[in-house]
Structure 1
């Protein structure tokens, strides 16, 4: 069968025309996609900066939450841009959104524990049961808070040990914050036998407390008989100090109480 030159030329011309049409069509699509990507990238950056600055105007809004929400807004804009770019090439955006949702659901189920930590971190940063620099006890975790992140909280134990606790653990347990109220109360007790002079011990206790400038005058320190047995009476000194002075005053008063007790015993002899 001989090839007709006219038919061959016609077929080639038709193919060239179709190819040219496709090139023109997809060229505009590619150019439009590039423009969308550039504009979307710029807009995403602007939205991130605007939201970060706007949240900074909110009194007491945590820096970590500002960064988190501004980043979320940036990625949301970029995700919308990508969907629009795919639409430029005739891809059904509804299918893309459904696929992204399914992928997000699968990732969420796989990272369920991690997402719990993120949610707990956001709540901790919003409600602030503890802040950086405060000394807290949460379950078996005790230490000074050094950093509150979205996934975990970093603390420093009293002996200098590094602690990293998941936020979900900290949120689901009662928090004992030793620094939040600014003041703390302490009780120091000694037992004296039935022959000891309770009034003298009480006066000596109050004198020791009022003579220390670190002890608060309101509430005023007080000494009282707190317990009674057949052979002894417990005398307790109750006083208040600032949270920062608590440990030092407790150590000094424990030593002072011991010395006071020894002096009273020697005087009795």
Structure 2
């Protein structure tokens, strides 16, 4: 029974959404005769009887106000002076009595809001069933008939139903007690009965759901990671609310309470049904997305995490939008015109929100093309860092200085993206500068040492080479070209360090010196400066000595000049310890 009412409730909500979102007929499909209709015919019916929903809603309002004269206008009786027309108020009173005692009307959302009515109900095109009443212990349908009430096409209680009302035996007088306190056209006792039923059903089911979750938590070994427990925790609270709504729908029609109170609560309890469905859907979306993200993290499929996150946000947004439309319709707000206006307003919105649309398209392009994933280390323009999140509008990158830079997805998809995380190996390409002054045999030994180190290391990929690259002015360069066969950056740094330390140790053991051009040039210039400073007093003394010392002075000057010139011409590869004093 509960499942059947849940299904009926879901169908009611679905039908309401479908009716709201149904496209309007295009202008070219309007009949020529309709285009030439008079302005009087275009005016709305003052009693709002154009659709079955509006007719029943306004009829109930008249009955709640105990205005049977106005309620009689919703019955299909002749408008001229006749006995049936004079019996209109009595017919309205009888209908109210029968509805209060075992009768029922369709919920607000289930009533057709189309001027043509429901065309797939196996009834004539001008008939619509809106409820049932009990006459002589038999269920009799309450039918509406569509007809002309100049100058409008309107829905009214059909003459078949009127005949059955007049044949039924009902108590005379007003169905409501004169001493009863009325709220909204119904006795306060009826409101309390219905509200008590709603509170009891929801409270009982909520407690039952809490007990079930508590029992499962005690039985499950790892409550934090159990997928079944997470599903139950996500689904039970909204399911308990949805089941409470179904129970209320089932028992509200069986209680001997005013039809006015019943219909009002059944109308607005539909909001709770929509809330329960949306709540259930949102919690299931979160639970499924959480499980999917955890599984993708175990598989290192980080790009899929971005897709799951974007899909989750999009589905939530659409779900909330459609549920908002359904709630507005439940409160009687006509959203059809607003939805149709979105077609025109959407153009203006798109023109004013070009950047937003561009970022949305950019996010879809980025995720579909997959140039990078969450957790990848990338360079985008002059920004270098790790991608932390790919959103609908922008992408956040954590830099090495621990700052977060946000780049709009429209700009990101148009930029050149260098992804360091997708490297399958790392280039090892140092240039080893050997000092001048070594023999040919020693140079061959140096090249062989580097080649041997590359061959012996297990993490160096095949095809590694070390060759004499150039005889430079300050050094003899041996160029290495090889790949470190690992995909992890930290591991590659350790291996690079190992290789360089081995080359340095083997060179030191073989007596090979590495060239330091800048240091040697600076040392040579410093030595020349020292030589000139040391010889300056001698040159000065030689110039001031007597003539007898002339030859000696000339010899000293010649020796000092020779030493200075020798210092200038000393080779760059000579270390400071080998310089001529």
User: What is the CA-CA distance between 1:143 and the residue it aligns to?
Assistant: 1.8
1:121 matched residue in structure 2:
363
Alignment partner of 1:150: what SS?
Answer: coil
- TM-score of the pair, normalised by structure 2: 0.36
Deviations 1:209-261 (A, max 9, x none): 45656xx2432532123456688653211232224233444456567667777
1:238 matched residue in structure 2:
481
Which structure would you say has the larger Rg?
2
| Alignment partner of 1:140 out of 364, 375, 382 | 382
Q: Is residue 2:269 matched to residue 1:38?
A: no
Provide the rounded CA distance (Å) in 1 between the counterparts of 2:451 and 2:386: 32
CA contact (8 A) 1:145 1:155 kept: yes
Name the Cα RMSD after superposition: 4.5
* Closer/same/farther in 2, CA of residues 153 and 103 from structure 1, 3 Å limit: same
* Closer/same/farther in 2, CA of residues 175 and 46 from structure 1, 3 Å limit: same
Could you tell me which runs of 5 or more consecutive residues in structure 1 were left unpaired when the two chains were aligned.
1-12
2:513 matched residue in structure 1:
265
Matches within 5 A, 1:95-174: 95-174=337-416
Deviations 1:89-111 (A, max 9, x none): 37361x12123444554444444
Alignment partner of 1:264: what SS?
Answer: coil
* Closer/same/farther in 2, CA of residues 158 and 200 from structure 1, 3 Å limit: farther
Provide the rounded CA distance (Å) in 2 between the counterparts of 1:184 and 1:26: 78
Q: Is residue 2:442 matched to residue 1:201?
A: no
Provide the rounded CA distance (Å) in 2 between the counterparts of 1:71 and 1:202: 60
CA contact (8 A) 2:430 2:481 kept: yes
Q: Is residue 2:465 matched to residue 1:219?
A: no
* Closer/same/farther in 2, CA of residues 21 and 174 from structure 1, 3 Å limit: farther
| Number of residue equivalences | 254
1:56 matched residue in structure 2:
292
Identify which range, 116-125 or 168-177, moves more after superposition: 116-125
Using CA pairs under 8 Å that are at least 6 residues apart, name the structure with larger relative contact order, 1 or 2: 1
* Closer/same/farther in 2, CA of residues 134 and 82 from structure 1, 3 Å limit: closer
* Closer/same/farther in 2, CA of residues 80 and 166 from structure 1, 3 Å limit: closer
* Closer/same/farther in 2, CA of residues 29 and 255 from structure 1, 3 Å limit: farther
Could you tell me which runs of 5 or more consecutive residues in structure 2 were left unpaired when the two chains were aligned.
1-64, 75-183, 186-258, 515-572, 575-581
Provide the rounded CA distance (Å) in 1 between the counterparts of 2:309 and 2:266: 31
Identify which range, 45-54 or 147-156, moves more after superposition: 45-54
Greater percentage in strand: 1
Provide the rounded CA distance (Å) in 2 between the counterparts of 1:161 and 1:253: 34
Alignment partner of 1:265: what SS?
Answer: coil
- TM-score of the pair, normalised by structure 1: 0.67
CA contact (8 A) 1:48 1:71 kept: no
